[in-house]
């Protein structure tokens, strides 16, 4: 990676990825009709499935930053509630299918509390994350330098994506998608050249909302910088003029699109070559949609997305975009997972309560730990520097084996193979007792006598 680009990404991490270094938030459980935590059936297969699709850090981010802001109802671990919500996204199952894991009413309550408690706030949070956590104007231009000629000015891709959809009371004719030949919602998705999603439009019924009409309503002038250039396919051509006329700071140079064939006038060789390179270059965003569908089966063309309302779908699509961005950015920056990131995979793990956090705070602080380390090093130095008045030629092993006089065990520490015995040797007049490993003491009877003395006291 280019040094300047690496520095730009490092700045993004330092500013917007501080969650990597934070502990799990405190969430006290709400009172339930039962005191015991209920098990989630087959949670041992749900967690690995979510892990294999997303990885450790995206799930940690969701649980600690987005989901873990409060306790949720139902007598299950909050971590497992959050993982189940992700499971619905990545597996593409219906809410009713979750009845094999917990009662249907319980999962519906969790799902409703997350998506419908404060939907506007959650939507705004996801929009902010997309716009700030993965890309800057400078990083986009640095990456754009890798584009093929003549598209090194292009920093963004924008295209429409249709998802199959159904909900109670839906106007099915208005949802009809000519791409899917089924009912669906269409969204506009903008990515940078690394396929990081920068923003997603609100979903609209497919039939009467073409890519061009949605572009006009998108307010793209408020979402991109005047130095950005957005690549669009030929379906947007007729609307770019209207967009430029309505936006004060955007000009034609802010958009890149294929050369349109005019009536009865063939394209020149240069124009054909331009369109061919552009088509290959534009296929990057198709790669994004492919990965989106393979990661989140819920947005696959083969699965019907059942939602209660459009706002829920809006949040789900943006949440999936954020998590996919994190997965990509972790790979791009080779960000390692730390031990606390993986705790959600452990059996019976949950967010700590206030009482558990108070216990944690009773552990030694960093100042105390450094002081303890300093004291231990000082003690070790004294041990190695001390002089022992032993006969010439006598060794620690000799003293432990009792070759030069009677030895006595006066203490012990450690267990098993690591156990040591504190030994004094009377005949050589040692001023300091020695700690000797268990395997170095050949006279086992002194150990037996010592252990008997412990039992008699």
Predicted local confidence at residue 433, as pLDDT = 72
Asked if 152 contacts 145 with a C-beta cutoff of 8 angstroms, the reply is: yes
Alpha carbon 27 to its chain centroid, in Å, reads 19
**Alpha-carbon gap, residue 357 to 108, rounded angstroms:** 30
Predicted local confidence at residue 418, as pLDDT = 73
Give, for all 457 residues of the chain, the pLDDT tens digit. Answer: 789 999 999 999 999 999 999 999 988 766 554 557 899 999 999 999 999 999 999 999 999 999 987 888 899 999 999 999 999 999 999 999 999 999 999 999 999 999 998 999 999 999 999 999 999 999 999 999 999 999 999 999 999 999 998 877 778 899 999 888 999 999 999 999 999 999 999 999 999 999 999 999 999 989 999 999 999 998 898 899 999 998 888 999 999 999 988 888 889 999 999 999 999 999 999 999 999 999 999 998 888 888 878 899 999 999 999 999 999 999 999 999 999 999 999 998 999 877 655 444 444 555 556 666 776 777 666 666 654 444 444 444 444 444 445 778 888 887 766 778 888 876 544 445 778 887 677 676 777 777 777 766 6
pTM above 0.95, yes or no: no
Alpha carbon 104 to its chain centroid, in Å, reads 28
How many C-beta atoms surround the C-beta of residue 454 within 10 A? 9
**Alpha-carbon gap, residue 273 to 391, rounded angstroms:** 94
Specify the residue for token string 């499971």. 87
Beta bridge partners, 187, equal: 161
Predicted local confidence at residue 33, as pLDDT = 47
Beta pairing class for 182-192 and 197-200: antiparallel
Nearest alpha carbon to residue 307 among 120, 451, 446, 168: 168
Phi, psi of 194 (to 5 degrees): -95, 10
User: Distance of CA 82 to CAs 116, 204, 272, Å?
Assistant: 15, 28, 51
Predicted local confidence at residue 392, as pLDDT = 44
- Helix/strand/coil (H/E/C) assignment for every residue in the chain: CCHHHHHHHHHHHHHHCHHHHCCCCCCCCCCCCCCCCCCCCCHHHHHHHHHHHHCHHHHHHHHHHHHCCCCCCCCCCHHHHHHHHHHHHHHCCCHHHHHHCCCHHHHHHHHHHHHHCCHHHHHHHHHHHHHHCCCCHHHHHHHHCCCCCCCCCCCEEEEEEEEEEECCCCCHHHHEECCCCEEEEEEEEEEECCCCEEEECCCEECCCCCHHHHHHHCCHHHCCCCCCCEECCHHHHHHHHHHHHHCCCCCHHHEECCCCCECCECCCHHHHHHHHHHHHHHHHHHHHHHHHHHHCHHHCCCCCEECCCHHHHHHHHHHHHHHHHHHHHHHHHCCCCCHHHHHHHCCCCCCCCHHHHHHHHCCCCHHHHHHHHHHHHHHHHHHHHCCCCCCCCCCHHHHHHCCCCCEEEEEEECCHHHCEEEEEEHHHCCCCCEEEEHHHCCCHHHHHHHHHHHHHC
- Tokens describing residue 335: 């960000």
Query: How would you classify residue 195: left for phi > 0, otherwise alpha for psi between -120 and 50, otherwise beta?
Result: left
Within a 13 Å sphere around the CA of 248, how many CA atoms are in the beta-carbon half?
Answer: 1
Predicted local confidence at residue 396, as pLDDT = 47
Asked if 89 contacts 296 with a C-beta cutoff of 8 angstroms, the reply is: yes
């Amino acid at each position: 990676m280019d040094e300047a680009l690496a520095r730009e990404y490092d700045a993004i991490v330092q500013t917007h990825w501080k969650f990597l270094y934070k502990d799990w938030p405190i969430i006290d459980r709400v009172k339930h009709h039962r005191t015991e935590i209920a098990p989630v059936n087959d949670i041992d297969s749900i967690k690995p499935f979510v892990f294999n699709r997303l990885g450790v850090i995206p799930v940690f981010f969701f649980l600690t930053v987005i989901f873990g802001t409060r306790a949720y109802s139902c007598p299950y671990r909050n971590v497992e509630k959050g993982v189940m919500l992700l499971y619905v996204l990545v597996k593409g199952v219906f809410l009713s299918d979750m009845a094999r894991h917990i009662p249907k009413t319980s999962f519906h309550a969790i799902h409703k509390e997350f998506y419908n408690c404060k939907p506007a706030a959650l939507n705004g949070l996801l929009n902010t994350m997309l716009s700030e956590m993965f890309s800057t104007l400078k990083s986009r231009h640095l990456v754009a330098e890798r584009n093929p000629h003549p598209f090194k000015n292009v920093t963004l891709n924008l295209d429409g994506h249709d998802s199959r959809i159904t909900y109670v009371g839906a106007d099915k004719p208005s949802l009809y998608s000519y791409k899917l030949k089924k009912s669906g919602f269409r969204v506009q998705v903008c990515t940078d050249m690394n396929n990081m999603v920068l923003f997603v439009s609100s979903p609209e019924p497919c039939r009467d909302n073409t890519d061009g009409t949605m572009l006009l309503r998108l307010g793209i002038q408020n979402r991109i910088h005047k130095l950005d250039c957005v690549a669009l396919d030929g379906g947007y051509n007729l609307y770019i003029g209207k967009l430029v006329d309505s936006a004060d700071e955007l000009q034609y140079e802010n958009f890149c699109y294929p050369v349109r064939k005019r009536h009865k006038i063939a394209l020149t060789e240069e124009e054909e070559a331009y369109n061919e390179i552009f088509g290959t270059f534009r296929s990057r965003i198709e790669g994004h949609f492919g990965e989106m569908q393979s990661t989140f089966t819920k947005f696959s063309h083969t699965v019907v997305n059942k939602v209660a309302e459009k706002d829920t779908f809006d949040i789900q699509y943006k949440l999936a975009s954020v998590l996919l961005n994190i997965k990509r950015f972790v790979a791009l920056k080779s960000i390692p997972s730390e031990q606390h990131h993986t705790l959600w995979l452990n059996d019976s793990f949950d967010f700590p309560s206030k009482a558990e956090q108070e216990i944690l705070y009773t552990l030694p602080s960093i100042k105390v730990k450094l002081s303890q380390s300093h004291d231990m090093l000082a003690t070790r130095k004294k041990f190695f520097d001390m002089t022992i008045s032993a006969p010439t030629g006598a060794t620690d092993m000799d003293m432990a084996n009792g070759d030069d006089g009677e030895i006595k065990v006066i203490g012990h520490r450690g267990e098993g193979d690591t156990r040591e015995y504190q030994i004094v040797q009377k005949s050589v007049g040692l001023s300091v007792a020695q700690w000797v490993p268990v395997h170095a003491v050949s006279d086992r009877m002194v150990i037996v006598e010592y252990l008997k003395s412990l039992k008699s006291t």
